[in-house]
Amino acid sequence: MSGVCEVDGTSLRTIRVYKQTTRFAKQVAEWRARYPRRAEPRYWLLHVRLLGAVQRSDSRKLCIFPAEYKLTQPKAVPPTESTQEIVNSKLLTKVKRNATLMADGNGAWSAAARSYPAKCFVVKHVKHSKAEFVKKAVGQKSFGTQTLDRCWDVLKRAVPKEVGSRSKDAASDTFRILTYVYAATWRRQLADANLLEELGSLCRRA
């Protein structure tokens, strides 16, 4: 990806995690350590999140990475992406040097971009928290994260409604959600390709 690229994180779906769920025992322990005096809820919400970047001039050039698992109490504010998890995902290594990164006001993207000084990224923000979705600068086109927001909408619609927060098999549902998303991304990337030819090519290389 190069030129103007939009970057952001999103929550695809939430899944209930109960105290007896062994798959996410680490996340439960981290929550307890963070809030030792807070009463434990009957269940936590696991936010299945993605970090993504898309080239504005060609939305097929989309790169996504699963974000770290984080738990919140029901009705709590969803977690936002941190500098460390952006860096750990290596998402920005997929963006070419001198690119302009459009973010939604989360300063973690600016901090993560500074972790790659040789890339010479320029980071610009619109502040969704202040209902600012498009910004215009003198002598420049308007900017925001509308292209990536549309990509998120497509991927979220790919996940069936029945894969929801009330499931008691959080580990299985997490895997299913990401499987649907990756399949939708693959179909989207091949929208203009001959699918049978691509499958044949994959079989020959196997």
- Quick one: average pLDDT of 193-200? 67
Average pLDDT over residues 110-127: 88
Tens digits of residue pLDDT in 148-163: 999 999 899 888 887 7
Return the beta strands (E) in the chain as ranges: 4-18, 43-55, 58-66, 70-72, 100-103, 122-125, 134-135, 143-144
pLDDT of residue 125: 84
* Interval 22-76: pLDDT, tens: 888 899 999 999 999 999 999 999 888 999 999 988 888 899 999 998 899 988 8
When mean pLDDT is compared across 59-63, 139-143, 202-206, the lowest value belongs to 139-143
34 vs 198: which has the higher pLDDT: 34
Query: In terms of DSSP bridges, do strands 122-125 and 100-103 run parallel, antiparallel, or are they unpaired?
Result: parallel
pLDDT tens sequence across 71-112: 999 888 889 999 999 999 999 999 999 999 999 888 999 999
* CA–CA dist 86, 92 (Å, integer): 8
- Quick one: tokens of 25? 């025992």
Position 124 pLDDT exceeds 50? yes
Continuous segment of H or E residues that includes residue 121: none
User: Per residue in 30-52, is it b (16+ CB within 10 Å) or e — as a string?
Assistant: ebeeeeeeeeebebbbbbbbbbb
Q: Over 80: is that where the pLDDT of 198 sits? A: no
How many other CB atoms sit within 10 Å of the CB of residue 104? 22
